[in-house]
Amino acid sequence: MKSDKPNIPDMTNEHGQGQDLAVPCGENEGKANIYKLDGRVPLQQAIPFGLQHVLAMFVANITPIIILANVVGIESSLSAALVQNCMVIAGIGTLVQLYPVWRVGSRLPIVMGISFTFLSLAITIASTRGYGTLMGAVIVGGLLEGCLGLCSRLWTRFVSPMVAATVVTAIGFSLLPIGANSFGGGQGAADFGQAHHWMIGTVTLLTCLLIQVFARGMLRSLSVLAGLVVGYLLSLCMGMVDFSGLQHAGVVSLPTLLPFKPEFHLDAILAVFCVYMVSATETIGDTSALCSSALGRDVRERELGASVSCDGFVSSVAGLFGCTPITSFSQNVGLATISKVVNRFAIATGAAIMILGGLFPVVGVLLTNIPQAVLGGCTLMMFGGILFAGFGMLAKCGFSQRNMIVVSMSLSLGLGFTQVPTLFAIFPQMVQTIFADNCVAVVFVLAVVMDNLLPKEKKA
């Protein structure tokens, strides 16, 4: 059977990474290089793939800070500045992952953005202790996580391929409700689940699916972007796109440094650091999934540590700009799984678009106008790709009796208990904050404990 994927020669070096080509980049060569980490790609070819990644995560990137600002009661002008800062920080974090600074950054096509994991604790600290206390905890906790990533040799041996596979599977399951909520119009929407959301979400999802199945070459890799465009145009025809925000958008808006004076309190720092460990777990899972599904190889110890260090250190920078911590975005891992586009330059164009969106408010306004149902139609397909990647990683580990016990118990308890958060009511508030609504954290802890405590199976 003839493959639809372009015939891509092996251009990897001894470290398994793509090499830059010394010859000029022609059109056919550029198309092939899209599927390599370091191949040269013309800018006009790279931008659509970068934009696709931005559209896949843009709303999720700014939503946590919008919710936090509304709950805490931050004035609208400062809230808008924080949203702009979030876009710039996400772009910087992605660039650091793509093009490392010293040992910070994995050199992998990982897209970074503001994490939802911290939202509950951030609201609690900012509401009771002040926003400055939250920022102080974010800055110090990020430095601690970054240092942990630099010392990866001390702890990565406890995270076996089976643990990583279990965590990736849990991430896939945990994201499905997010995609479903977007499909219905967005959680809390007054018209949630109405027919027009079903229509837009279904058309978007079918567009992604049909292009993924029947298209060839680069168009197949752009299936999610095509779905977004079709869904957006349909929403525009149905009068569901609001451009009123453009009237108040300025021309240029520079990031605001230290919008809040950081305050440092040990209890807040410890609480935030515990959640940083959960974020590190998600980053480990995303990095493992990306290598397995998009690059076709196992993740390396250095890459795990470098991803976590980027997660931490850039989060500290985020605190300086009034933002909550960043982390790797699983939906973009799902996008890479579907498209197989891993070129660092192509993804970097997406990071540049995010930074421009932070500097030029008009760009941000246009991107935030994408209806939730459109995003839901696209993300459901991507989240399914993460789930499938987890299944593939589990299959590589084998289905022995020991593996079955570790995986089944971790997933059943982690996914099951977090569906009933009141089960954690007897535990201290810090434990509830970290585990009650976060199945990934519960699955990770259980998988690590059982994998390292249960006796190994004897080889025949």
Is this prediction's pTM over 0.85?
no
Instruction: Return the minimum-mean-pLDDT range out of 3-17, 93-107, 437-451.
Output: 3-17
Q: What is the mean pLDDT of residues 218-231?
A: 84
Query: What DSSP letter does each residue of 423-447 carry, written as one string?
Result: GGTTS-HHHIIIIIT-HHHHHHHHH
Q: Which of 90, 70, 89 is nearest to 79 (CA)?
A: 70
Among 17-31, 57-71, 78-92, 376-390, whose mean pLDDT is lowest?
17-31
Rounded Cα–Cα distance for residues 217 and 198 (Å) = 30
For residue 252, what pLDDT is reported? 85
pLDDT at position 3 over 60: no
Helix (H, G, I), strand (E, B) or coil at 6: coil
CB 328 within 8 A of CB 287: yes
* Each residue's pLDDT tens digit, 336-364: 888 889 999 999 999 999 998 889 877 76
Q: What is the pLDDT at residue 364?
A: 65
Note the pLDDT of residue 30: 64
Tell me the pLDDT tens digit for each residue of 247-291: 777 778 888 899 999 999 988 898 888 789 878 888 988 999 899
Q: Alpha carbon of 375 to those of 178, 192, 234, 282, 370: distances in Å?
A: 10, 14, 13, 22, 7
Is it the case that residue 43 has pLDDT exceeding 50? yes
Give the dihedral of Cα atoms 99, 299, 330, 401; nearest 10 deg: -170
pLDDT of residue 275: 81
pLDDT digits (tens, 9 = 90+) for 375-414: 888 888 878 887 888 898 899 889 999 999 999 999 999 9
Instruction: Report the alpha-carbon distance of residue 351 to residue 46 in Å, rounded.
Output: 12
Tell which residue, 66, 68, 60, has the closest CA to residue 123: 68
| Closest alpha carbon to 112 in 83, 89, 145 | 89
**Is residue 365 scored above 80 in pLDDT?**
no
Where are any strands of DSSP class E within 15-123? 112-114
Dihedrals phi, psi of 18, to nearest 5 degrees = -65, 155
Higher pLDDT, 181 or 316: 316
